[in-house]
Amino acid sequence: MRVLVTRPLKSAERTAGRLREMGHEPLLLPLAEPKHETARALQAMAETDGAIAMTSAEAVRTFHGHTDDLAPHLDRPLFAVGEATAEEATAAGFRRVTASSGNGRDLAEQIAGHGFDRALYLAGAPRAATFEHRADELGLRLTVVEAYAMRPLAISASTIRDLFARRSPEIVLFYSRQTAQWFFDQPEIAAHLDRLANTRLLALAEPVAAAVPKALRKNIVIAAMPDEQSLLSLLQIAH
């Protein structure tokens, strides 16, 4: 199947590899790119100790090329949402990485369950506040530092037309509500929703699906768990 991936390029390339292994044809349409705030993140690391929380692999990529600066912090306990973020953190050299299989709410409960009453949260913007809200409910004090921001990319109408010129994607993958919103805000998409009439829209979670226009809600399938493995498992159902 032709599967449209709307993630930022670095993550999209990783997803594309998994799709090819599954026998699908990936189409990449990055709608945003990260702006890393490396100096800010490193300063926050230097000014704190104890647990670190990350809800995206993009937070880990903030430190790429700064191995020496990161070295003093690699033994700190790091809690990550999802295996992809945990794997990225391990590859960066962190030695005490724990992955949450759920969402931000589960992450907060996991950190508190390990006996921590505070943590440095290397966050992104924009983001859902699920983790922060649950941390507040649990009395988990967070130092929140925005380590990166996702900036929308300018996508030409011709780029989108080319995607649909021969054969429309049979599947579109959405990993975040903001990305889904940016996708449907594209004038060439908004003006021709009928192109997606027979396309399955796979969403990582309910809030992501909420960004899909009402006319296409019948096409949505939501992953059982908010992780890529669950999302890609839906391809078997959609096939």
User: Smallest Cα–Cα separation from 104: which of 141, 56, 173?
Assistant: 56
Q: Do residues 41 and 146 share a domain? A: yes
Work out the pLDDT band at 138, boundaries 50, 70, 90: very high
Please give the pLDDT value at position 102.
75
Q: Do residues 95 and 172 share a domain? A: no
Work out the pLDDT band at 171, boundaries 50, 70, 90: very high
Query: Which of 150, 167, 199 marks a domain boundary?
Result: 150
Q: Do residues 17 and 48 share a domain? A: no
Beta-carbon contacts of residue 142 (< 8 Å; ≥ 6 apart) = 53, 118, 119, 120, 121, 132, 135
Work out the pLDDT band at 103, boundaries 50, 70, 90: confident
Q: Do residues 79 and 19 share a domain? A: no
What value does the mean pLDDT take over residues 167-194? 94
What value does the mean pLDDT take over residues 76-94? 94
The tokens describing 15, both together, are 């997803």
- Which pTM does this prediction carry? 0.84
185 in Cβ contact with 213 (< 8 Å)? no
- For residues 101 and 150, the model is more confident at 150
The Cα 176–Cα 237 span in angstroms is 21
Please give the pLDDT value at position 164.
87
Please give the pLDDT value at position 115.
96
What value does the mean pLDDT take over residues 140-165? 94
Please give the pLDDT value at position 239.
56
Q: Do residues 43 and 117 share a domain? A: yes
Residue 220 belongs to domain spanning: 2-31+153-238
State yes or no: pLDDT of 114 exceeds 90: yes
What value does the mean pLDDT take over residues 149-176? 92
State yes or no: pLDDT of 238 exceeds 70: no
**Max avg pLDDT among 23-27, 159-163, 164-168:** 23-27
Please give the pLDDT value at position 185.
95
Q: Do residues 146 and 179 share a domain? A: no
Q: What is the mean pLDDT of the chain?
A: 94
State yes or no: pLDDT of 167 exceeds 80: no
What value does the mean pLDDT take over residues 203-226? 94
Please give the pLDDT value at position 157.
94
Beta-carbon contacts of residue 165 (< 8 Å; ≥ 6 apart) = none
CATH code of residue 91: 3.40.50.10090
Tell me the three state secondary structure of residue 157: helix
Q: Do residues 187 and 215 share a domain? A: yes
User: How many other CB atoms are found less than 10 A from the CB of residue 206?
Assistant: 12
Number of domains into which the chain is organized: 2
What value does the mean pLDDT take over residues 168-176? 94
Q: Do residues 117 and 46 share a domain? A: yes
What value does the mean pLDDT take over residues 52-57? 95
4 in Cβ contact with 172 (< 8 Å)? yes
143 in Cβ contact with 120 (< 8 Å)? yes
State yes or no: pLDDT of 195 exceeds 60: yes
User: Smallest Cα–Cα separation from 94: which of 78, 76, 74, 77?
Assistant: 74
Query: Which of 150, 185, 216 marks a domain boundary?
Result: 150
Q: Do residues 144 and 41 share a domain? A: yes
User: Smallest Cα–Cα separation from 116: which of 71, 78, 74?
Assistant: 78
Please give the pLDDT value at position 77.
98
What value does the mean pLDDT take over residues 181-187? 96
Q: Do residues 16 and 75 share a domain? A: no
Query: Which of 120, 150, 180 marks a domain boundary?
Result: 150
Q: Do residues 185 and 206 share a domain? A: yes
Work out the pLDDT band at 83, boundaries 50, 70, 90: confident
Q: Do residues 38 and 23 share a domain? A: no
Q: Residue 55: what are its φ and ψ, rounded to 5°? A: -110, 5
User: How many other CB atoms are found less than 10 A from the CB of residue 178?
Assistant: 20
